[in-house]
Amino acid sequence: MIPTQQLERNKVDQSYQFNPFDAEFKANPYPYYDYLRTHDPIHWGMLGGWVITRYADAKAILKDPRVDEAPMPDSFRKKSQYLAKKERDLEALILASQHWLFFLNPPDHTRMRGLVAKAFKGQSLQKIASEIQAIANQLLLPLKAERTLDIVTDFANFIPIKVMMKLMGLPKQDEHFVRGWVRDIFSIFDPLNSLHKCEEMNQISLEFRDYLQHQINQKRKQPQPDLITALLEVEDGGEKLTDAEIISSCMMLGAAGEGTTASIIGNSILALLNHRDQLELLKQQPHLINKAVEELLRYDSPTQLVLRTAREPLEIAGKIINQGDFIILCLGSANRDPQQFVDPDQLDLLRSDNQHIAFATGIHFCLGAALARVEVPIAINTLVQQLPNLQLAINRVEYHDNVVTRFLKSLPVTFDVA
């Protein structure tokens, strides 16, 4: 078993400052969250923003119309102005990200969300479910004879991209480079991107944009039963999406749905292997899977934090958040708040009243939650049911260097041949 609760709660230093880059925090953030929730729930952090760790506060802020999304494309614009002196720019990255729902506020958000959600809802999740099961089976089949596999690098990393390629109607043979682009563009969410990283993402945006424009042109000529065609055709109150908006939305859907879904598959198997009674329960009662996935999302949430800025001054628990202040909402902490969840550090697949906010809440509630709720249960049940005597093959795990997502680099396991 990997001791994920190594650090005792009372061992957190009394002068603790929120630092998501700290190696110990990365390995196990939960005792630190617990300290902040108890001692400084509205914490002014070293990153120059307010760190919110309690469930009630996070939920209230997510629903507060006085709070805006963090304007990420603006930060790219500022960097681009600086680069202009060196005859370089981030124009492609700015164009690629400027229609992402994550960075929009009403009324722009309302219009874009209405159109993208309408196109997305038109896709049949029932049909997708049988395709996801086929993808999971195909991935596992050649690995089953090996008695060992890496849950993350052999399995979880492939499921979401394969599903996304099918959903969007992109050619199967392009999967390798589309996955590379989507992974790299995911760093758009990282508020502390270096100039070098932004230039890399700018280059990827250029290539990805040309590729998607070509796909759009094809589908305009020959419509297909897929999401890109649906985005081309969707209309809401006389409004339609431009090609630039479709390109930006496809990049957004790829980036938003790939890393998050891959990470919850890895995090879930690790959590189950660390709680063998719960693994056994799921093995014996596979029909519990949907409830189990909600608990796994709560227990080790893939999106650990989301960012906002205050459009107006706010008062929360006696502290004043000034206009323009940066707010870091720790969803991973909110989902472990004892004021909201009984025995929150316990993985309990039968937990009732599980109102977790792993998909956030309010107007930015995850657009892909319904898809994730089909994809993740199939992926986890396939692994749990098809791999007998699943065991961890390592005693220390490592996470990707991303402050927003809790994403294992790898998770080697062993199992018996059925």
Task: Give contact residues for ligand HEM (rule: CB under 6 A).
Answer: 101-102, 113, 252-253, 256-257, 260-261, 264, 302-303, 306, 331, 358-360, 364, 366-368, 371-372, 376
What is the amino acid identity at position 281? L
Between 161 and 198, name the residue whose CB sits nearer to ligand HEM: 161
* Cβ atoms within 10 Å of 144's Cβ, excluding its own: 14
SS3 148: strand
Between 156 and 264, name the residue whose CB sits nearer to ligand HEM: 264
Angle at 298 between CA 292 and CA 303, to 5 degrees: 125
Supply the minimum distance, in Å, between the C-beta of residue 303 and ligand HEM: 4
Supply the minimum distance, in Å, between the C-beta of residue 209 and ligand HEM: 18
Between 90 and 161, name the residue whose CB sits nearer to ligand HEM: 161
Q: Longest C-alpha distance within the chain, in Å?
A: 64
In angstroms, the CA 234 to CA 127 distance is 20
Closest CA to 7 of 23, 21, 20: 23
Between 156 and 372, name the residue whose CB sits nearer to ligand HEM: 372
8 Å CB contact between 72 and 102: yes
Supply the minimum distance, in Å, between the C-beta of residue 291 and ligand HEM: 15
Burial-class residue 417 by CB neighbours within 10 Å (0-12, 13-18, 19+).
exposed
Distances, alpha carbon 138 to alpha carbons 142, 175, 283, 408, in Å? 8, 16, 21, 23
Between 7 and 368, name the residue whose CB sits nearer to ligand HEM: 368
Supply the minimum distance, in Å, between the C-beta of residue 289 and ligand HEM: 14
Non-local (6+) Cβ contacts of 309 within 8 A are 67, 68, 69, 70, 71, 324, 325, 326, 327
Between 297 and 413, name the residue whose CB sits nearer to ligand HEM: 297
Distances, alpha carbon 84 to alpha carbons 57, 185, 197, 280, in Å? 41, 22, 16, 59
Supply the minimum distance, in Å, between the C-beta of residue 227 and ligand HEM: 9
Supply the minimum distance, in Å, between the C-beta of residue 396 and ligand HEM: 25
- Nearest residue by C-beta to ligand HEM? 368
Supply the minimum distance, in Å, between the C-beta of residue 359 and ligand HEM: 5
Between 105 and 203, name the residue whose CB sits nearer to ligand HEM: 105
